[in-house]
C-alpha cells in the first residue's frame, strides 16, 4: 500500500512542476479557436444586453402610454431598469389592472349616458312642441317626433334645415342667432295648401347652444288656438264698436238738438228738469262715443300691419305742432302753458298720423291731471340711435303700485277723477309697438309724470 501511494503522488508532483512555456506551447494549437469562442461569447453578451435594453425601453414606452392614458402621468416608468425588463412586469401588471378598472368605469358611464340620452329623447318625443337642433352649418342633428310629423320627415339625419323644413324663414332665423349669439322669437305660419282659416300658427324660439358655434335649438309652440281666439276678440271689439257708434251718435245728436231748442222747455219760468236730464244724456253719450272711438282705434291698430302701409321719413316738429293745436282749447280752459322742444332737423321713419294721435293722448292726460296755471312740456330728441318723444307735467303723479299696469286697457288709477275711457295710454303703447318701440313712464305721486315713446331712429 505504501509503494502504491508513492507511485501515485510522484506524477502529480511532476505535473505541477511544468513550466509556463511548456503549457503555452501545449495550448498553442487551440489558441485561435479559443479567441474565436471568446469573441462569440462577448458578441452574444452584447447582443443580449442590447436586446434587454430594447425590451426595457419598449416596456417603458408601453407603461408611459398606459399611465398617460389613465391620467397617472409618466412617473411610474422610473421604476423600470434599462437592463432588467423583469422590473417592468409588476408595474405593467398594475397598469393593466388600472386600465381594466378605468375601462369598466368608462363603460358604466357610457351606459348611464346612453340611458339618460334615451330618457331625454323620450321626453322630447312626448313634447307637444316641435324641437329641431342644428349645428353651425345648419345641418340637423336632432328632430323630435312632433317636428318629424309637422314637416313630414322620414329621414332627417344629415339634412340641412332648409331641405328638412322647406322654410327660408326658419333658415334666416337660425342664421341670425348664429351670427350674434342672441335668442330670438318670431311668429311662423308654415306655407301649405290648406283651406283659408285653418292655417297653423307657431311661436318659434331660437336659442343658441353653449356657444353660437355649437349650433342652434329651435322650439316651435303651436299657438293656432290662441291666435284664433285673439282674432275673434279683435273682430268682436271692432264689430261691437262699429255697431254702437251709430246709435250713440243719434242719441248725442238729438240731445244736443233738444238742448239748443228753447221752445221745447215751454215758458221761461218752467222747471229746468228736462234740460238737466237731457244734459246728462248728452254727457254720457259723449263718453260712450269716446269709448267706441278708442275701441275702434285699438282694433284698427291691432289689424294695421298691412293697412297702414310703409312708414315714411319725415320731420317730427310739424307732428308736435298739430298735436299742440288739437289740445290747445283744453289747455286754455285750465290756463296751462304748453311748450315744445323739438329740433327742426330731427326726422324719423314714422306713421305721422299715429304719432300725432299718441302725442294728443299724452298731452291730453298731462293737461287733465295737472293743476290750473301749471306747465306741460313736450320734447323730442335722439339718444343712442333711438328717437325719444317725451311729455312732462307737474300734475298729481302716479303711485308706484299702479306704474306697472298704467298701459293696460281700461285701467284707471282713480276712476272717480279720471273721466276718461281708460284706453288712451293703451293706444299709445300700441302705436309705440307698431314703430318697433316701447312706451314707458316715470312718475311719483304728487310730483308729476314723464311719459316717453322710444323707437328706432
Name the residue among 395, 387, 388, 386 with its Cα closest to residue 363.
395
**Percentage of the chain exceeding pLDDT 90:** 15
Q: Residue 18 domain-assigned?
A: no
**Structural domains counted in the chain:** 4
Residue 184 has pLDDT above 80, yes or no: yes
Q: Show the CA angle centred on residue 232, arms to residues 230 and 234, nearest 5°.
A: 70
Residues 316 and 291 grouped into a single domain: no
Q: Which of 193-197, 204-208, 357-361, 374-378 has the lowest mean pLDDT?
A: 193-197
Distance separating alpha carbons of residues 406 and 425, to the nearest angstrom: 7
Q: Which of 59-63, 168-172, 376-380 has the lowest mean pLDDT?
A: 59-63
Residues 325 and 403 grouped into a single domain: yes
Q: Residue 113 domain-assigned?
A: no
Q: Residue 409 domain-assigned?
A: yes
Mean pLDDT of the chain: 76
Distance separating alpha carbons of residues 396 and 445, to the nearest angstrom: 6
Residues 132 and 186 grouped into a single domain: yes
Look up the CATH number of the domain holding residue 376.
3.30.565.10
Confidence bin at 6 (pLDDT 50/70/90): very low
Q: Residue 452 domain-assigned?
A: yes
190 phi, psi to nearest 5 deg: -60, 135
> What does DSSP assign to residue 160?
B
- Number of Cβ within a 10 Å radius of residue 69: 12
Name the residue among 104, 106, 81 with its Cα closest to residue 91.
81
What mean pLDDT is predicted for residues 418-442?
82
Distance separating alpha carbons of residues 282 and 249, to the nearest angstrom: 10
Residues 261 and 391 grouped into a single domain: no
The predicted pLDDT at position 80 comes to 47
Q: What is the pLDDT of residues 107-128, one digit of tens each?
A: 777 777 777 777 777 777 778 8
- Number of Cβ within a 10 Å radius of residue 78: 10
Confidence bin at 163 (pLDDT 50/70/90): confident
> Of the residues 201, 222, 243, which one is the last residue of a structural domain?
222
> Of the residues 222, 242, 271, which one is the last residue of a structural domain?
222
The predicted pLDDT at position 18 comes to 55
Q: What is the pLDDT of residues 292-346, one digit of tens each?
A: 777 777 777 766 654 566 788 999 999 999 999 989 999 999 999 999 999 888 9
Q: Residue 20 domain-assigned?
A: no
Residue 453 has pLDDT above 90, yes or no: yes
Residues 245 and 277 grouped into a single domain: yes
Distance separating alpha carbons of residues 198 and 200, to the nearest angstrom: 6
Q: Show the CA angle centred on residue 355, arms to residues 382 and 385, nearest 5°.
A: 20
Confidence bin at 392 (pLDDT 50/70/90): very high
Confidence bin at 380 (pLDDT 50/70/90): very high
Domain span at residue 387 reads 312-456
The predicted pLDDT at position 1 comes to 41
> Of the residues 195, 222, 249, which one is the last residue of a structural domain?
222
Kindly list the distances between the CA atom of residue 88 and the CA atoms of 78, 106, 383, 385, in Å, as whole numbers in the listed order: 10, 26, 75, 72
3 state SS of 200: coil
Please return the burial class of 72, using the count of CB atoms within 10 Å of its CB with bins 0-12, 13-18 and 19+: middle
Residues 149 and 218 grouped into a single domain: yes
Look up the pTM and report it. 0.49
Q: What kind and span of H or E run contains 377?
A: strand 375-383
Confidence bin at 86 (pLDDT 50/70/90): low
Distance separating alpha carbons of residues 360 and 428, to the nearest angstrom: 10
Look up the CATH number of the domain holding residue 210.
3.30.450.20
Rg of the chain on CA atoms, in Å: 48
The predicted pLDDT at position 173 comes to 92
Residues 52 and 97 grouped into a single domain: yes
Distance separating alpha carbons of residues 192 and 201, to the nearest angstrom: 12
Q: Residue 163 domain-assigned?
A: yes
Residues contacting 72, CB < 8 A, separation 6+: 98
Residue 13 has pLDDT above 60, yes or no: no
Residues 328 and 446 grouped into a single domain: yes
Residue 82 has pLDDT above 50, yes or no: no
- What is the b/e burial string over 188-226, where b = at least 16 CB atoms within 10 angstroms of the residue's CB? bebeeeeeeeeeebbbbbbebbeeeeebbbbbbbbbeee
Q: Residue 89 domain-assigned?
A: yes
Residues 46 and 161 grouped into a single domain: no
Distance separating alpha carbons of residues 302 and 227, to the nearest angstrom: 13
- Give the pairing of strands 375-383 and 337-341: parallel
Better-scored residue on pLDDT, 258 or 325: 325
Distance separating alpha carbons of residues 297 and 300, to the nearest angstrom: 5
Residues 438 and 356 grouped into a single domain: yes
Chain centroid to Cα 397, Å, comes to 36
Residues 382 and 345 grouped into a single domain: yes
Q: Residue 9 domain-assigned?
A: no
Residues 355 and 384 grouped into a single domain: yes
Better-scored residue on pLDDT, 381 or 197: 381
Q: Which of 2-6, 218-222, 264-268, 362-366 has the lowest mean pLDDT?
A: 2-6
Amino acid at each position: 500500500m505504501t509503494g502504491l501511494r508513492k507511485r501515485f503522488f510522484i506524477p502529480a508532483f511532476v505535473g505541477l512542476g511544468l513550466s509556463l512555456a511548456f503549457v503555452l506551447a501545449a495550448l498553442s494549437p487551440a489558441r485561435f479557436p479559443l479567441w474565436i469562442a471568446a469573441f462569440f461569447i462577448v458578441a452574444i453578451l452584447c447582443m443580449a444586453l442590447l436586446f434587454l435594453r430594447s425590451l426595457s425601453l419598449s416596456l417603458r414606452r408601453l407603461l408611459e402610454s398606459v399611465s398617460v392614458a389613465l391620467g397617472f402621468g409618466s412617473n411610474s416608468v422610473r421604476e423600470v431598469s434599462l437592463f432588467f425588463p423583469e422590473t417592468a412586469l409588476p408595474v405593467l401588471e398594475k397598469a393593466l389592472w388600472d386600465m381594466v378598472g378605468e375601462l369598466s368605469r368608462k363603460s358604466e358611464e357610457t351606459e348611464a349616458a346612453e340611458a339618460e340620452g334615451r330618457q331625454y329623447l323620450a321626453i322630447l318625443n312626448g313634447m307637444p312642441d316641435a324641437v329641431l337642433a342644428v349645428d353651425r352649418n345648419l345641418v340637423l342633428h336632432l328632430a323630435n317626433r312632433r317636428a318629424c310629423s309637422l314637416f313630414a320627415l322620414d329621414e332627417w339625419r344629415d339634412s340641412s334645415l332648409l331641405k328638412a323644413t322647406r322654410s327660408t324663414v326658419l333658415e334666416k332665423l337660425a342664421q341670425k342667432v348664429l351670427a350674434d349669439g342672441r335668442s330670438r322669437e318670431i311668429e311662423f305660419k308654415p306655407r301649405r295648401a290648406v283651406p283659408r282659416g285653418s292655417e297653423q300658427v307657431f311661436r318659434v324660439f331660437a336659442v343658441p347652444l353653449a356657444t353660437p358655434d355649437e349650433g342652434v335649438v329651435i322650439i316651435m309652440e303651436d299657438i293656432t288656438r290662441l291666435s284664433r281666439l285673439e282674432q275673434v276678440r279683435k273682430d268682436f271689439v271692432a264689430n261691437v264698436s262699429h255697431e254702437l257708434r251709430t246709435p250713440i251718435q243719434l242719441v248725442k245728436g238729438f240731445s244736443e238738438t233738444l238742448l239748443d231748442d228753447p221752445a221745447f222747455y215751454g215758458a221761461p219760468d218752467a222747471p229746468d228738469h228736462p234740460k238737466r236730464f237731457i244734459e246728462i244724456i248728452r254727457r254720457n253719450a259723449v263718453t260712450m262715443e269716446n269709448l267706441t272711438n278708442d275701441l275702434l282705434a285699438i282694433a284698427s291698430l291691432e289689424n294695421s300691419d298691412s293697412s297702414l302701409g310703409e312708414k315714411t321719413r319725415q320731420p317730427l316738429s310739424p307732428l308736435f305742432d298739430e298735436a299742440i293745436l288739437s289740445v290747445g282749447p283744453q289747455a286754455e280752459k285750465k290756463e296751462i302753458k304748453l311748450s315744445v322742444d323739438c329740433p327742426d332737423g330731427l326726422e324719423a321713419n314714422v306713421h305721422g298720423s299715429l304719432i300725432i294721435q299718441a302725442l294728443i293722448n299724452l298731452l291730453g292726460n298731462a293737461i287733465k291731471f295737472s293743476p290750473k296755471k301749471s306747465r306741460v312740456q313736450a320734447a323730442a330728441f335722439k339718444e343712442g340711435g333711438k328717437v325719444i318723444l317725451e311729455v312732462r307735467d307737474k300734475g298729481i303723479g302716479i303711485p308706484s303700485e299702479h306704474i306697472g299696469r298704467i298701459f293696460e286697457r281700461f285701467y284707471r288709477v282713480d276712476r272717480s277723477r279720471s273721466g276718461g275711457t281708460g284706453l288712451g295710454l293703451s293706444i299709445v303703447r300700441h302705436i309705440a309697438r307698431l314703430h318697433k318701440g316701447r312706451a314707458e313712464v316715470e312718475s311719483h305721486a304728487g310730483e308729476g309724470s314723464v311719459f316717453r315713446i322710444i323707437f328706432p331712429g
